[in-house]
Chain A
């Protein structure tokens, strides 16, 4: 673990966090969700964040996704300090640089898959949003389900819609918080396949929070968290043939 300059030097890391601290105040009790976390993530990396429940994984991901602000520490996204940015500036970062995939899918009940995927482009005022949303849905293999609402889709299909929505704006990274947590094993494998494929073929920087070892086994790097701190950061060669 180092906060120093990047060895390969040819590009700034997508993420650099330094001594990130997050403390929740619950009445008189302080909950130390993150106790000083530092790491870099390079462009194109696929990282698994593992740890027991309550170890601070979601807290970390929410900070990286600019959904929440750290109590202390600094966070550089694409070399830019995401410190005291305004709400609207943070919204713009979430819109352009980050794609979220949630455990509970977080789709809007009333909308078709196509509309869900168009939504980030709506806020980006993208004129070609329909075409780009269709392309993103094709990438996740849902070209024939574009006009279905979430209630008409299986869990795996819903998560594919969510992935398409995360991808459609061409973000700097995709953040997935236990994306397979609500799925059966077979579907979970399919979703993992998809995320790995997107990372390999399109070079999308991806962070996946998981507590399943076989998910972590598919990534090049595993950050292990214990009680709000990083307990291990293993870079392994990508075992692209292993399933």
Chain B
């Protein structure tokens, strides 16, 4: 029997039991659609995280205290005295005028409650220097950014993220208004531009104050030597070349090791690419995990096919006997039933890929945890899902088909 004849026969056999065939196909459709939709959403999450990180400024290096594992944000202290990074470190890097470094922005974070009128907002307060706006490409939408003068005077001024501004001052212009922070009065000098979503914490939920103000008036934190501790130092590079990154990293490392009087790094320098990759690993694992859950429904679909094929073989025992009596070889029967199984699984795979693709595309509008989650349909999961459906048809079809092929003709003919 030729393959074309086999496909024709299989179509007729499947058409003879339309409801049963559709239900079996549906099982596959659900499985494949789930795999493609979930994997696309995972890929979409990954892509949007990457875009966000890139959106926070380009050509950046991040220096943070302690040794961080490459894959995650977990701190591993290398010494008993917690490693620290100070404002003085940042100044030293600036003064060293290392070639390739354009600008530097030390920051320190703390959490506090902001109160204005009857409204309160608990959030992250970031102490920044004037260079922050440039380095992190985050500019005021209205008002002016924190100035050198503010920094010197430890001024009680504050720049609000968009979300905070609307929460604290609904329908009002917050510029020049005051907010209370740690029982002190701060004057709002700016509402920052909308940043959309940032990686873990939206910048729209953050408030910026001068670094010196944070250090003296909100949350003092000094080393034993009396230096001001910072959470992170961002460094803008002249370009994104590997060579520049490496040269700057080496120079900064040498400088900090010297200043900290250590032989091993007690700080971590990461590029944006490092962060993207580290997060990519997390989201990649998440994507795989989602895919695996969806894969279970694919497995269930496969079991459905096997179940139906076994029923079909039993029902058609006599047909198999007749075919064998007139000369069908084992292979002919095997191929006939295998083609049926694969047609069902592939049909389900194609329909599932279409539905999964539509889901992934149109779930873009769905808001998820306050941020729009966009499906990112790539060819890989589609090709994979189709290949997997064919494989499922073969794997779950082979046992019933083989059972049919091995029937003894005389017994099959006698079957009532």
A123 near B410 with CB under 8 A, answer: no
What residues of chain B lie closer than 8 Å to A152, measured between beta carbons?
Answer: none
A67 near B323 with CB under 8 A, answer: no
User: Interface with B: A12-20, A38-46, A87-95, A135-143, which one?
Assistant: A87-95
Interface of B: prevailing SS: helix
State how many angstroms separate the Cβ of A34 from the closest Cβ of chain B. 14
Indicate the member of B325, B326, B408, B413 with the most A CB atoms within 10 Å: B326
Cβ-based interface call for B5 (8 A): yes
B324 near A125 with CB under 8 A, answer: no
Cβ-based interface call for A124 (8 A): yes
CB within 8 Å for A100 and B326 given contacts A108-B319, A123-B1, A125-B1: yes
Measured CA separation A123–B332 after assembly (Å): 8
B410 near A68 with CB under 8 A, answer: yes
A91 near B322 with CB under 8 A, answer: no
B410 near A91 with CB under 8 A, answer: no
Mask, B323-342, CB within 8 Å of A = 1, is 11111111110000000000
What residues of chain B lie closer than 8 Å to A100, measured between beta carbons?
Answer: 325-326
Cβ-based interface call for A62 (8 A): yes
Cβ-based interface call for A207 (8 A): no
B327 near A91 with CB under 8 A, answer: yes
B329 near A91 with CB under 8 A, answer: yes
CB within 8 Å for A92 and B329 given contacts A67-B409, A123-B1: yes
Measured CA separation A110–B322 after assembly (Å): 13
Mask, A81-103, CB within 8 Å of B = 1, is 00000011001101110001010
A119 near B323 with CB under 8 A, answer: yes
B325 near A106 with CB under 8 A, answer: yes
Q: Which 6 A-B pairs have the closest CB atoms?
A: A95-B327, A91-B329, A123-B327, A68-B410, A120-B326, A67-B410
4 further interface pairs, Cβ-Cβ under 8 Å (given A91-B327, A124-B327): A67-B325, A106-B321, A123-B328, A169-B327
Chain B residues with CB under 8 Å of chain A are 1-2, 5, 12-13, 16, 318-319, 321-332, 408-410, 413
Report 9 cross-chain contacts, Cβ distance below 8 Å, ordered by A residue: A87-B329, A94-B326, A95-B328, A106-B318, A106-B322, A120-B326, A120-B327, A122-B5, A124-B327
